[in-house]
């Protein structure tokens, strides 16, 4: 929403400079998105009188001598059909920037020119489009001699030396009253500590009353209108201040009736709509307007002003003439009752509608206008008739009121009882009673005081005031939250969140171990799910995704990391371990106790390296060393998938279930060739994905420090040739050493296999010591002999 400071200043006395005002508005009223300085926009544009005007033969041009207020006349060539001797026009002097081009990269500057190779032309006579008031390029503007004389600055006559505030609408969602200059001015007064006094909304009108059939006051709290009969011509000859006001608010002057309705909407926040009265009767087939307001019926159609045919839905509100829809309420008028140059009589509608219905209408039909922006904030009902009457007043030169329509409305007073303590205790302030009362009265709340108790009655336009906190907000805001002292409260110590701490520990460990933490999107393409063999129906699907790339919620993290592995390989990285900790969802998991999809917190890693080594073992090393740090003993076993979709892309002969005791916490393995080829990855990529929710249950802060014997430690290497698995051999070695009650460590050193058919030899480095004595050579030999035999 654009608000002109000059317009604002007509209603509120502003004693501070613009910078201070902007800061106050920004910190106590609303976010200003942009401050548009137009103070230079109309520099060097003057009111001039066309003294002589001669047609240049065989062209559409005229050679004009103009009085610019200087001693001598200036010659300018003008192509507009309405240029004539005696008129006042707007002259863009040589060197001035054409206002419509001010914000362009290369603003247009008019100089002295020679037209048709012989006529000197100095500057130009401007059209309303060049002055940035309308898009009309057919004529030049004509200025009323009553208000200006040659040599006047255009900016002075039309208050164009201005600053425009572009307001962030979102932060006023709850303040329909601020969507009009008057309401905004009231708030500015409040912020400046000045008392604002509104003109009373005059509604008593001694005219013939017509009925209106509002189907349900919930969809239309109040419907008012005035019927205007033409009795004269509305002359629109000169550029007016109102035109420039509309333009500065981003609206274009069109014709006198529409301009009046727009002007009043900008001023009061109340949108108006004009119907052609005679067409309205014709559509309904009545002799007197039979106005109705009701919900549209499914299947009803309405051709709108912009020639589109709207297929109405049953939440749309329509205005009807004898039950025939003639307008989509709050959104757009219908073609059948549109005013045009032949319009004689009009109906000016001023109503309020359910913001909930209008929001749906806005979405269903994609209509975004200044009017519906205001309606969807919930315009109050108190002023509809008053604004309609004001519109009639503005049009009185051409029209007179013949009838008035008003449904009336349910008047509600919002009264809040509050104490000064309640206000100060919530804000952390020490406002005294008098400050509180004047703050509220400045913006026209009624306040009754009894001791420290206040009974506050909100003005009619503050339909958002219901509870004490609403009043507290007014006090805090209008006096400036920035004047509240920040004070730290005292409170108890905090608990650690185990999962958060675990994740922090994991990222520290893995990053030091040369791995890279990634974050990838929660949403993936259905193709990716299919490439890794997952069932897309097991993924939650977005109905309004940005693109097919982001349509499904992922079931696991590894597939996303595989995609990133491909991209990084392409970027010439050859060895890396990518890991990510994030949430994943599977539809088959169902919902949790909150009745929302069950969330899995997972840790995933993908390992790629440029050696010939089996990548499974590098992935396993990352996982095992991590587990060690967390005090967890992992085992790797053949597994049955814990749930559907978990095993689809691991090579079954080169993957394992990751267990803690008997609990399966994840899967590790090399990725299947079929999945790799679809993802354009080389063979031998390994990955794991484990459940952090499980891991956190087993992780403990307790570290079992390796025992140390006081007696000498024996170091020996041993090689066992066997077809048993590594783990079996390890266990057997361990069992023997435990049985002898030794302090020990067993580290693998190598695995050797002469050829594919040969039995592997597993070599270990052993260290052991007795707890009570120094081991003798014979004893050591006996231990080693026993160990050798386990094969």
Partner 1 sequence: MQTLEQLKAELKALGAEYAKIKDVPPAERAEFGRKINLKKQEILDKIKAAEEAALEQDVTPIDITAPTAPNQPLPVFLPSENGSKHPLMTELDRVVEIYQMMGFDVVEPRQLDDEFHMFDSLNFSKGHPARDGYDTFRTEEGYIPPAHTSTMQHRVLKAYKKNLEQGKNIAVVVPGRVFRNEDVDATHEHTFYQCEGVYVSKDCTLGNMLGILREFFEKYYEQKLDISTQPGYFPFTEPSLEFKIEKPKTLGGKKGEFIEMLGCGMIHPNVLKMAGIDPTVYHGFAWGGGIDRLVMLRYGLKDVRYFESGKLNFLKEF
Q: What one-character-per-residue DSSP string does 24-67 give?
A: HHHHHT--EEEEEE-TTTTTTEEEEEEEEEEEPTTSS-EEEEEE
Which of 300, 473, 767, 779 contacts partner 1 by CB under 8 A? 473
218 is a site residue for partner 1 (CB under 8 A): no
In whole angstroms, give the CA distance from residue 662 to residue 635. Answer: 9
Strands 112-115 and 119-122: antiparallel
To partner 1, the closest distance from the beta carbon of 767 in angstroms equals 17
374 alpha carbon, distance to own chain's centre: 19
Q: Which of 86, 752, 776, 782 binds partner 1 (CB under 8 A)?
A: 752
Strands 576-584 and 516-517: parallel
588 touches partner 1 (CB under 8 A): no
Q: At what angle do helices 433-442 and 181-192 cross, to 10 degrees?
A: 160
Looking at residues 323 to 342 of the shown chain, list those that interact with partner 1 (rule: CB under 8 A). none
Binding positions for partner 1, 366-385, rule CB under 8 A: 376-377
Question: Could you say which of 13, 20, 417, 521 contacts partner 1 (CB under 8 A)?
Answer: 521
Candidates 197, 415, 500, 738; binder of partner 1 (CB under 8 A) is 500
CB 131 within 8 A of CB 80: no
**Residue from 497, 530, 588, 774 in contact with partner 1 (CB under 8 A):** 497
Interaction residues for partner 1, span 630-649 (CB under 8 A): 635-638
Select from 224-232, 319-327, 381-389, 725-733 the region that touches partner 1 (CB under 8 A).
725-733
Among 482, 662, 705, 706, binds partner 1 (CB under 8 A): 482
**Please, which residue, 398 or 760, has the CB nearer to partner 1?**
760
Which CB, 409 or 650, lies closer to partner 1? 650
Nearer to partner 1, 113 or 477 (CB): 477
Stretch that binds partner 1, among 94-102, 146-154, 287-295, 561-569 (CB under 8 A): 561-569
**Residue 97 has what DSSP assignment?**
B
State the nearest-atom distance from the C-beta of 720 to partner 1, in Å: 13
Shortest Å distance, C-beta 668 to partner 1: 8
CA distance 120 to 124: 11
**Whole-number minimum distance, CB 357 to partner 1, in Å?**
8
The yes or no reply on residue 507 touching partner 1 (CB under 8 A) is yes
- 260-280 burial: b if 16+ Cβ within 10 Å, else e: bbbbbbbbbbbbbbbbbbebb
Region binding partner 1 by CB under 8 A among candidate stretches 130-138, 197-205, 238-246, 356-364: 356-364
Would you tell me how many other CB atoms lie within 10 Å of the CB of residue 472? 20
Give the residue, chosen from 94, 145, 408, 760, that forms a contact with partner 1 under the rule CB under 8 A: 760
When binding is defined by CB under 8 A, the residue of 59, 286, 700, 725 that contacts partner 1 is: 725
**Residues between 160 and 179 with contacts to partner 1, criterion CB under 8 A:** 170-175
Q: Using CB under 8 A, count the residues that bind partner 1.
A: 134
Q: Taking CB under 8 A as the criterion, which residues in 540-559 touch partner 1?
A: 540-546, 550, 553
Closest CA to 4 of 168, 248, 176, 179: 248
Identify residues 660-719 at the interface with partner 1 (CB under 8 A): 672-674, 677
The two tokens of residue 335 are 């073609």
Cβ 318 to partner 1 shortest distance, Å: 19
Closest to partner 1 by CB, 43 or 470 = 470
Least distance (Å) between residue 584 CB and partner 1:
9
Residues 6+ apart with CB under 8 A from 223: 212, 214, 291, 293, 349, 351, 384, 405, 406, 407
CA–CA distance, 108 with 98 (Å, rounded to integer): 6
Q: To the nearest whole angstrom, how small is the minimum distance from the Cβ of residue 183 to partner 1?
A: 15
Distance CA 468, CA 418 (A): 6
Q: What is the 3-state secondary structure (H, E, C) of 758-788?
A: CCCEEEEEEEEEECCCCCCHHHHHHHHHHHH
Q: Return the half-sphere exposure (C-beta side, CA atoms, 13 A cut-off) of residue 144.
A: 11
Question: Among residues 78, 81, 113, which one has the least CA distance to residue 94?
Answer: 113
Among 146, 206, 342, 488, binds partner 1 (CB under 8 A): 488
For 694, residues 6+ apart whose C-beta sits below 8 A from its C-beta are: 660, 663, 665, 666
Token code pair at residue 657: 């279930």
Least Å distance, CB 81 to partner 1, is: 45
**Residue from the set 86, 641, 712, 748 that interacts with partner 1 by CB under 8 A:** 748
Residues in contact with 193: Cβ distance below 8 Å, sequence separation at least 6, in sequence order:
438, 442
What is the contact mask toward partner 1 in residues 238 to 277, using x (rule: CB under 8 A)? ----------------------------------------
Task: Return the number of the residue (213 or 722) whose C-beta is nearest partner 1.
Answer: 722
Q: Write each residue from 410 to 439 as x if it is in contact with partner 1 (CB under 8 A), else as -, in one continuous string.
A: ---------------xxxxx----------
Query: Within 10 Å of residue 206's Cβ, how many Cβ atoms?
Result: 6
What's the burial of 534, exposed, middle or buried (CB within 10 Å: 0-12/13-18/19+)? buried
| Residues 591-630 contacting partner 1, CB under 8 A | 594-597, 599, 601, 609, 612-614, 616-618, 620-622, 625
Q: Which of 8, 12, 14, 30 forms a contact with partner 1 (CB under 8 A)?
A: 30
Among 153, 359, 629, 765, binds partner 1 (CB under 8 A): 359
d(CA 673, CA 682): 9
Binding status of residue 453 toward partner 1 by CB under 8 A: no
Smallest separation, CB 685 to partner 1 (Å): 13
Report, in angstroms and rounded to the nearest whole number, the Rg of the chain calculated over CA atoms. Answer: 41
Closer to partner 1 at the Cβ: 374 or 390?
374
């Amino acid at each position: 929403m654009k608000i002109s400071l000059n317009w604002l200043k007509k209603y509120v006395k502003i004693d501070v400079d613009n910078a201070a005002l902007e800061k106050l508005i920004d910190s106590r009223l609303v976010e200003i998105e942009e401050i548009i300085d137009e103070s230079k926009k109309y520099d060097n544009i003057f009111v001039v009188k066309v003294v002589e005007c001669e047609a240049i033969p065989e062209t559409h041009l005229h050679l004009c001598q103009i009085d610019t207020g200087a001693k001598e006349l200036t010659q300018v060539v003008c192509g507009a059909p309405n240029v004539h001797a005696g008129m006042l026009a707007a002259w863009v002097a040589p060197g001035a920037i054409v206002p419509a081009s001010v914000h362009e990269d290369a603003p247009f500057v008019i100089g002295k020119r020679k037209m048709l190779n012989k006529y000197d032309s100095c500057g130009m006579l401007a059209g309303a489009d060049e002055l940035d008031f309308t898009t009309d390029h057919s004529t030049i503007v004509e200025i009323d001699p009553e208000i200006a004389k040659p040599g006047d600055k255009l900016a002075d006559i039309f208050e164009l030396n201005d600053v425009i505030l572009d307001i962030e609408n979102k932060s006023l969602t709850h303040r329909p009253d601020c969507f009009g200059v008057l309401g905004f001015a009231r708030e500015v007064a409040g912020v400046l500590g000045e008392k604002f006094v509104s003109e009373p909304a005059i509604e008593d009108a001694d005219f013939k009353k017509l009925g209106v059939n509002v189907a349900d006051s919930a969809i239309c709290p109040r419907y008012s209108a005035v019927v205007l009969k033409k009795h004269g011509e509305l002359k629109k000859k000169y550029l007016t201040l109102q035109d420039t006001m509309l333009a500065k608010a981003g609206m274009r002057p069109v014709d006198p009736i529409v301009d009046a309705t727009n002007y009043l909407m900008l001023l009061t926040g109340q949108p108006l709509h004009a119907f052609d009265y005679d067409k309205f009767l014709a559509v309904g087939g009545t002799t007197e307007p039979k106005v109705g307001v009701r919900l549209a019926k499914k299947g009803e159609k309405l051709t709108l002003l912009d020639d589109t045919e709207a297929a109405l839905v049953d939440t749309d509100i329509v205005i009807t003439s004898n039950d025939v829809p003639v307008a989509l309420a709050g959104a757009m008028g219908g073609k059948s009752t549109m005013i045009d140059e032949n319009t004689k009589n009009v109906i000016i509608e001023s109503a309020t509608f359910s913001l909930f219905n209008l929001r749906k209408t806005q979405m269903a039909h994609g209509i975004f206008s200044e009017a519906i922006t205001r309606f969807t904030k919930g315009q109050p009902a108190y002023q509809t008739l008053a604004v309609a009457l004001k519109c009639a007043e503005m049009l009185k030169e051409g029209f007179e009121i013949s009838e008035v329509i008003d449904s009336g409305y349910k008047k509600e007073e919002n009264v809040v009882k509050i104490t000064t303590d309640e206000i100060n205790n919530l804000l952390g302030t020490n406002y005294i009673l008098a400050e509180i009362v004047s703050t509220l009265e400045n913006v026209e709340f009624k306040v009754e005081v009894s001791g420290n108790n206040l009974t506050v009655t909100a003005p009619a336009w503050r339909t958002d005031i219901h509870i004490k906190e609403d009043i507290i907000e007014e006090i805090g805001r209008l006096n400036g939250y920035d004047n509240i002292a920040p004070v730290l409260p005292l409170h108890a110590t905090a608990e650690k969140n185990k999962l958060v701490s675990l994740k922090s520990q994991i990222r520290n460990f893995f990053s030091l171990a040369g791995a890279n933490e990634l974050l990838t999107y929660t949403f993936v393409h259905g193709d990716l799910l299919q490439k890794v063999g997952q069932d897309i129906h097991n993924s939650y699907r977005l109905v309004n995704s940005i693109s097919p790339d982001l349509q499904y919620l992922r079931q696991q993290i590894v597939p996303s990391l595989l995609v990133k592995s491909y991209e990084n390989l392409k970027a010439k990285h050859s060895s890396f371990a990518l890991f990510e900790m994030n949430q994943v969802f599977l539809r088959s998991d169902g919902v949790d106790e909150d009745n929302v999809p069950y969330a899995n917190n997972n840790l995933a890693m993908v390992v790629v390296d440029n050696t010939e080594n089996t990548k499974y073992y590098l992935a396993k090393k990352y996982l095992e060393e991590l587990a060690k740090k967390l005090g967890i003993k992992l085992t790797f076993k053949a597994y049955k998938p814990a749930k559907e979709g978990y095993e689809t892309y691991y090579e079954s002969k080169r993957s394992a279930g990751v267990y803690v005791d008997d609990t399966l916490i994840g899967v590790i393995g090399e990725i299947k060739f079929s999945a790799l080829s679809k993802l354009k990855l080389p063979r031998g990529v390994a990955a794991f994905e484990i459940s952090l929710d499980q891991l956190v249950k087993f992780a403990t802060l307790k570290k079992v420090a390796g025992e140390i014997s006081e007696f000498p430690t024996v170091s020996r290497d041993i090689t066992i040739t066997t077809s048993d698995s590594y783990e079996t051999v390890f266990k057997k070695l361990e069992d023997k050493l435990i049985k002898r009650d030794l302090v020990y460590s067993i580290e693998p050193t190598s695995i050797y296999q002469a050829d594919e058919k040969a039995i592997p030899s597993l070599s270990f480095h052993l260290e052991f010591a007795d707890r009570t004595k120094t081991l003798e050579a014979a004893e050591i030999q006996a231990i080693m002999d026993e160990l050798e035999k386990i094969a």
